[in-house]
Chain A
Amino acid sequence: MDHVFVIVIIFLLLNICMGLIRLWRGPSVADRLLATQLFGTAGMAVLTVMAGYSEDLTLLNVVITFNVLSIILVICMVQVRKKKKKETP
């Protein structure tokens, strides 16, 4: 059973590595932001699996912290881009 947890964690970490390609190449800032959001989600999944693996439920607090704060980057990004469009036309 333990091996399943470890395999899932490694799979999710490799997911993050794949996302790095988009982060590195992504032509626009929005692509990079979405890659970061993918990392956030995959990271939360890794943490949840780790909580199951080590049977330590306090790790879920970290997950929720990531979760409630993930919105703030997106909103910041959206607001900044909106301003840009207004300035340029």
Chain B
Amino acid sequence: MELLTDGLLALLTAYLAFRCMLAPKLSKTVFTFFAFGLILALMWIRLGAVDVAIAEAAIASGFMGVLLLDSLRDFSPSYSEFEDNIEQPPNQVAFAKRSLSQWVPAIASGAGLLLFLFIALQAVREVPAGGGLAAFAEAKLPESGAEHPVTAVLLNFRAYDTLLEVAVILMGLLAIFAAGGIRQFRKPSLPPAKDPVLRKAILIFTPLLFLFGAFLLYIGKSGPGGAFQAAVLWGAIGILLHLGGWRIFNALSRRMRRIIIIAGPLFFLLTGFALMARSGTFLAYPPAFAGFLILIIETLAAVSIAAALTAIYAFLTD
């Protein structure tokens, strides 16, 4: 019976991915992508990766959704200021006849992807019976300061990777700042909301998002959740307030914004170096303080990522 639901999910995923790539209109592509994100979250659940499912749910349906919807309006004829951007109706787009030079790269990359899939399948089959490093990680779990294996791996055993992931978001923000220096890419910001229903909805959802983000951050110690998921929920607060016209991020002073965005990665890095001076290994937490250190690092990282996500939205629309 489980095969039936899993098969249906797998079929839906492949079908939606196919439809998403081949949709003739941009709005169809965007909304098919939302549906794809939802089905993907269900897939992750069936595969037993609840952490990934939460991240997928938060990022695909929340943050990406807003960015995609916001950019969609640039392509709609009744809004866009730039005539070149406006999407052509599908029957007016001239279809060039594909020549051999266009087919060869497409077929080559398709073959490369198939080869990659084959290698991945081969690698899955070659995992030793004990589950590779999983048994080793499980044995060291009590020393890691976290009860949930995923959190232990992310913030203790492979903390270096997580540090780089936090830094990647910072780099993305820098790239957007660099591109946003050109006025033409910025949109005017929204006026403060006057509609009472909208104001009330935003005011109700802001504390809810904060509370549930904090819950996910704290529960990350013993179950699925953690800094990234909490950060997206907290970032959603900033985006929600900006959508309502309360531009909290722009209200902060320039220096304050920089401090908030940099605080998480900086503290992570400094902790790493301090522990290196103490024990000789980068980011080797002493088992007695591990839980406490992980909680502080996670909180600061969540605040920084949330601020970075808000900054991406605020900067693009200001």
Contacts and interface: CB of A to CB of B under 8 A. Distances in A.
A65 B243 contact: no
A73 to B, nearest CB: 5
Size range of the chain A interface in the assembly: 35 or more
Interface residue range, chain B: 35 or more
B190 A61 contact: no
Given A9-B5, A69-B236, A71-B205, A76 B65 contact: yes
Nearest to A78: B198
B8 A2 contact: no
A9 B46 CA distance: 12
Given A32-B31, A76-B70, A66 B57 contact: yes
Interface in B113-145: none
A38 to B, nearest CB: 10
A59 B44 CA distance: 11
A61 B224 contact: yes
Contacts of A61: 50, 54, 216, 219, 223-225
Interface string B219-236: 100011100010001001
Given A47-B42, A59-B50, A80 B61 contact: no
A13 B205 contact: no
Main secondary structure of the interface of B (DSSP, over half): helix
Contacts of A43: 38-39, 41-42
B45 A88 contact: no
A75 B244 contact: yes
Interface string B22-40: 0000011001101100110
Given A61-B216, A65-B58, A72 B239 contact: yes
Interface of B: 1-2, 4-5, 8-9, 12, 16, 19, 27-28, 31-32, 34-35, 38-39, 41-42, 45-46, 50, 53-54, 57-58, 61-62, 65-66, 69-70, 72-73, 76, 78-79, 190, 193, 198, 201-202, 205, 208-209, 212, 216, 219, 223-225, 229, 233, 236, 239-240, 243-244
A-B pairs with the 4 shortest C-beta distances? A69-B62, A32-B31, A6-B1, A43-B38
Given A61-B216, A68-B209, A79-B193, 6 more contacts: A3-B1, A43-B42, A62-B57, A72-B66, A73-B66, A84-B78
